[in-house]
Structure 1
Amino acid sequence: MARRGRVELRRIEDRTSRQVRFSKRRSGLFKKAFELSLLCDAEVALLVFSPAGKLYEYSSSRCTLAAGRSPPRTFFLPTPKHRG
């Protein structure tokens, strides 16, 4: 089976296509968050804001987002490398 090449990540210009992609990706992220909490017995919380500003959230049943509780570690996504 042939490997797929890297896909260039860039903003989707068509508004309808962008909304459809957002909805599908959001569903995939929530599924992965659920799987991570189930398979690894991890506490998972996920917040996603739509381009319109609507909030979508997921938290595992054991995870509570109580005031004053901060996560032990913060992870940042790496800065994308631009090919010029």
Structure 2
Amino acid sequence: MTLSGCQPSIIEGVAEKLAGKAQSAVGKLIGDSKMEAEGAGHQAAGQLTKTYGDTLDSVFTFVKEKPVTALAIGAAALILINRIFRR
């Protein structure tokens, strides 16, 4: 986590999404369908990046608030993965 308490990917995602909206709007305004589509793609990528950051933020908060539970979940996941790949 950063000093501001926010994952950098959240900020990057919001910025990319806004840039995509602007690009899409300009493309629509000037009748450039390729630019409009690229803008829509940037919006989608920005949303994915923001969602990734939100998820990381939630995980970090959970681990900070409940470290023993987080450790138990991690151990259980490792045991499960080990059993799956042993076969």
Band of TM-score, shorter chain: 0.3 to 0.5
Q: Which has the higher strand share?
A: 1
Q: Which has the larger radius of gyration?
A: 2
Q: Which has the higher helix share?
A: 2
* TM-score (structure 2 length as normaliser): 0.36
Higher relative contact order (CA 8 A, sep 6+): 2
